[in-house]
A = this chain, B = another copy of it.
Amino acid sequence: MSNDTFSFEIIESSKQYSNARLGLLRTPHGVIETPAFIFCATKANIKGVTIDHVKNEGTQIILSNTYHLMLQPTGKVIREAGGLHAFTGWDGPMLTDSGGFQIFSLGHGSVSSEIKSSRGSCSPDKKLSLLKIDDDGAVFRSYIDGSVIKMTPEISMQMQIDLGADMIVSFDECTPYHVSKEYTALSMRKSKEWGLRSLRYLNERGDGSQRLLAVIQGGVYEDLRLESVDFANENGFFGFAVGGSLGQTTFEMREIVSMVMEMLDRRKNVHLLGIGGIDDIFHGIRNGVDTFDCVSPTRIARHGTALVKYDDLKNGKRNINLNNGIFRGDHSPISPNCPCYTCQKFTRAYIHHLLKAKECLGGTLITIHNIHTMNRLMTEIRGGIKNDDLNRVCKEWGSE
C-alpha cells in the first residue's frame, strides 16, 4: 500500500468563515469530500438497513466500534473474514474507534450522558464492568459472556488492525466530567503515553494500509487541552479526533471545540467524536471540523423521527415524528424535495402504518431517509463553503 494513498488536502477555505474548509480525504477505499458525516455501523451494520441502501444514499464513510466487535464476533473472526470491509460488504472508507470510549463509559457509569449534557451524576467510583485501570491499560468484564478482558493500547491497535478500517483511533482513557482537574490531567497524560504506544504498535505491526488519529483529551481545562493538542501536533499522527468531556452544556461544548480547533495543526483533518446535531455541526464546521459522527440520525429514525430540511418542512421544525396520528392519511412523502429511496417511493401514511403495526420496515425506511438527509446537509454545507454563502445554507436548515 503506497503512502500516497492517504492524504488530506484542503481545497478551499471559506472567506466568510475563516476556519470552514473543503477537503479531500484520500484513503485506500476511496476519497471523502469533507466536511462529511460518518454513520455508525456500531456492530458492523447500520441497524435495519442493507449496505446497498446506505451506499445509494450518498454515504461516504461509516464507522464501527472496536469495543463491541472485539467481544462479538471477535477480531479473530473479522480478520479471518478479510477485515470489516469484506465482513460487512462496505467497500468505501471506514473508521474504527479505539474501544476506550465504551470501556470507560461502562466503567464510569455513562460517560456519554455526562459528556453531552448535565443529565446524570454518576460518580467515577461507581465501577460497573470496568475492573481496573492502570498505566498499562484497563481490565473489564465482557457483557457477552462475563469473561475478564484486558485492553491496552497494543491490544486496541491489534484489534483495529484485524478490523482493517482505513482510519483508526489511538487508545485513550475517556475522562468523565465529574472528576477533579488533577484526575483529568493524570488521565490525559496517560492517554498521551497510550497514544505513543498506539503509534509505535501501528508503525511496527501495521501493513501501511491504515492511519492513526490522535484523540484530544483534557476535559474542560484549556491548559490541559493545549498540552493534549501539543502532543498530537508533534507526534506524526495522520489526523485528530476531538473527544473526552466537552462540558455540561451545549455552550460549554462549543467553547471547548472552538478552543481546541484554534490550537490544532490546521493542515490535518479533524474529527469531532459523537457530535451530530445540526446546530453543532454548523458550529463545528465554522471552526474547521472536517468530519462528524453520531448515532442520533439513525437511532431517532428507528423510533419514528425523520429529519427534514427546515425550508422544506415549512412548519418551523426540522423533523417530524411519523408515529403522530396526523400522518395516518398523509399521502405525501416525508419531504417533497427529497430524492431518497424512501421519499421517491413511500408516503408518510405508509410509514405511519408500518410504525403503528410495529413493522421494523418503518424504522428502516426512515433510517434510509435520515442517512440521505445527513448526506444532503453535508453536500449543501460543502456548496456553502465553496460559494461563500454558508450563512444561507445554515438558515435553510433552520440553524442560527
Which single member of B329, B331, B345 contacts A89 (CB below 8 Å)? B345
A8 at the interface (CB under 8 A from B): no
A50 at the interface (CB under 8 A from B): yes
A80 at the interface (CB under 8 A from B): yes
Q: Chain B interface: which of A14-22, A122-130, A162-170, A348-356? A: A348-356
* A201 CA to B372 CA, complexed, in Å: 46
- B50 in contact with A349 (CB, 8 Å): no
A68 to chain B, nearest CB (A): 8
Q: In the complex, which range does the number of interface residues on chain A fall in?
A: 35 or more
Give per-residue flags for A18-58: 1 if the beta carbon is below 8 A from chain B beta carbons, else 0.
00000000000000000000000001110111111100000
- B45 in contact with A77 (CB, 8 Å): no
Q: Which residues of B contact A48 (CB under 8 A)?
A: 48, 359-361, 364
A347 at the interface (CB under 8 A from B): yes
* A45 CA to B80 CA, complexed, in Å: 36
Determine the residue in chain B with the shortest Cβ distance to A347: B81
Which single member of B47, B51, B80, B341 contacts A359 (CB below 8 Å)? B47
Determine the residue in chain B with the shortest Cβ distance to A346: B89
* A352 CA to B74 CA, complexed, in Å: 13
A357 at the interface (CB under 8 A from B): yes
A328 at the interface (CB under 8 A from B): yes
- A341 in contact with B50 (CB, 8 Å): yes
Which A residues are within 8 Å of any B CB, using their own CB?
43-45, 47-53, 68, 72-73, 76-77, 80-82, 87-89, 328-329, 331, 341, 345-347, 349-350, 352-354, 356-357, 359-361, 364-365
